[in-house]
Structure 1
Amino acid sequence: MKEFIYDGTFEALLTAVFYAFSTKEASTIKRKLNYSPSLLNETVDIQFEKDKFDKVYYAIENKLSTNTLENVYHVYLSEYDNCEDIILKYLRLAFKYGVKVNLAKNNDIILLVDKYCRRVTYEAHRFTGFVRFKEIGPLSYYASIEPDHNILPILITHFTNRFSDQNFILHDIRREKAIIYNKTESLIIDLSKEDGLRIESSSNDSNFEGLWKTFYTSVNIEERRNEKLRRHYMPKRYWSHLTEVK
């Protein structure tokens, strides 16, 4: 079996898909991070190649559908251990049977694609309400999050539109990546956990945090307290970054 090893970027992933479709041998795609080689398999290192990426990208978009392309991207963002192989099997099915394959809800691969996509998009939707920014300067704000999936690429449009007149940093400290926006353009950069702590320590937002906690407590109706429902809508693993429950 051939194992195509890529660097973790979406561009290199689609390049690997091109080579996997081109070989007649059984093949699999693995992310270089934490990869453990096998003596039984042939490994091929894949780098981003624009022409190969473009062929796969436009083939999915034009021969299949934009929805199929979004599914591939969301499964990639899920970062599950088997997500690359799910994408490869999904695309083989899609190119064989056409775009209607997405309606085959009794197929194990289609079911997994749907499940992974729902988890990624649902978590991204949750974080549009969970993010708590702290002021670190005049019209400049910082927030840290630890999502289960790599959702910064999904959140970037929402927050740049929402805070278009402010500078902000939205930091995924688990992946050490951050959205940086300067009122003009936004991009995702590498940002270490240590650098994030230094930025956060410059916050002068303690008075506002106190007011927010007071407001949160005052609107709470103790008789209607429902911890099970609360944890359903606001899972406890996110609480460390929520001002009101610290």
Structure 2
Amino acid sequence: MSRSLTPLHRRRNTEVAGSRAAAPHVTQLTNPPLDYVYDGSFEGLLTVLFAVYARKAAPNTIQPLGTMQGGLFAQPVQIDTDEAAAARVWEGLRRYMDQEARTRLFHVFLSEQPDRELLVFRYADLAMRAGRDISENYADDNVRRIAHIAQQMYREKHRMEAFVRFEKTSDELFHATIEPDFDVLPLIAPHFTKRYADQRWLIFDKRRRYGLYYDLTRTDVVEFETSAPQRNTDISATVLDEREPLFKLLWQSYFDHVNIPERKNIKLHRRHMPLRYWRYLSEKQPREQRFEPIKNKRPPGQACLEQGS
């Protein structure tokens, strides 16, 4: 399954929000519904939407390859990804919704909800037939669900940007492992690319088995075939920078010192930092030793004075 950091691998820098107009004649889906199968990419899903209107057949189901669950007699129709058709659909949607609404459709796709494909189709079809923005039409169940999923995606994106903890390897690569509830790597890529532009880093999504790699020039999607580490602290010590244990200890010491025991509120703490993230946070790992100043760092000349005495 192909992956991209932005829909269609590219996004226009400027878009005219006021270019939406009244809907022209929208193709009526008069043929019997079909089961569609695609490659699992967002471009593939947009190609399916193009095929739906070209065939005039509404979807019974839209399923990625490998997860298809066809009926007893139904023969699914496989739609090959066509980037030109996908771009045509993506640009065509600008006539009925603004950039924020289209972005929500992309977020719904990344949410991995079981019926995400049908939800995207229903929202797009409703907008085209209305000929206007429907993002505030909360009387419609599809609009409400998309708004709710978009809120969930925003919260998960914000948490990942706050809770990622890097470890430095011996070859100067900063590595982090995450396991978010949703596929948010494409959403957090701009944040980390901008914030850590002066160092090489890799963020690996253990659940989805792919990651983001920044090489000081650009951020790319990378996929792994080998088994992933169980958590970021389980990386072999042979590949970590020799100072990494000290960095971890310093971070834990900082966390302990800024903590105010009298103001401890575990319930509130877990609300803002859910338990599922703790396994990847350095400050939440068991303390191996208390922090102590390095004892062999003495002022110049002190060692000579001690020997002379």
8 A contact 1:134–1:203 mirrored in 2: yes
Instruction: Describe the superposition over 1:43-76 as per-residue Cα deviations: whole angstroms up to 9, x where unpaired.
Output: 0112211221121011013443212210110100
How many Å separate the matches in 2 of 1:29 and 1:140? 40
**1:226 partnered with 2:265:** yes
Structure 2 counterpart of 1:163, from 193, 196, 200 = 196
Match of 1:99, SS state, is coil
The 5 Å alignment of 1:7-26 reads 7-26=39-58
Number of equivalent positions: 246
**1:105 partnered with 2:138:** yes
**Structure 2 unaligned spans of 5+:** 1-32, 286-309
Q: How far did residue 193 of structure 1 move?
A: 6.1
8 A contact 1:171–1:191 mirrored in 2: no
**1:80 partnered with 2:117:** no
How many Å separate the matches in 2 of 1:95 and 1:12? 20
Match of 1:103, SS state, is coil
Q: How far did residue 230 of structure 1 move?
A: 0.9
**1:200 partnered with 2:235:** yes
AA partner of residue 233 (structure 1)? H
**1:121 partnered with 2:142:** no
Corresponding position of 1:3: 35
How many Å separate the matches in 1 of 2:262 and 2:66? 49
**1:240 partnered with 2:279:** yes
Q: What's the RMSD between the two structures over aligned residues?
A: 1.8
8 A contact 1:60–1:66 mirrored in 2: no
TM-score between both structures, scaled by the size of structure 2: 0.75
The 5 Å alignment of 1:127-138 reads 127-137=160-170
Match of 1:67, SS state, is helix
AA partner of residue 145 (structure 1)? I
How many Å separate the matches in 1 of 2:180 and 2:153? 10
Corresponding position of 2:90: 57
8 A contact 2:209–2:228 mirrored in 1: no
**1:180 partnered with 2:213:** yes
Instruction: Describe the superposition over 1:123-167 as per-residue Cα deviations: whole angstroms up to 9, x where unpaired.
Output: 001111100000013542000000011101011111010010100
AA partner of residue 55 (structure 2)? T
8 A contact 1:8–1:33 mirrored in 2: no
Q: 1:193/1:159 Cα in 2 relative to 1: closer, same or farther (>3 Å)? A: farther
8 A contact 1:120–1:151 mirrored in 2: yes
Q: How far did residue 41 of structure 1 move?
A: 2.7
How many Å separate the matches in 2 of 1:6 and 1:120? 23
8 A contact 2:38–2:63 mirrored in 1: yes
**1:215 partnered with 2:254:** yes
Q: Which deviates more, 127-136 or 37-46? A: 37-46
8 A contact 1:131–1:145 mirrored in 2: yes
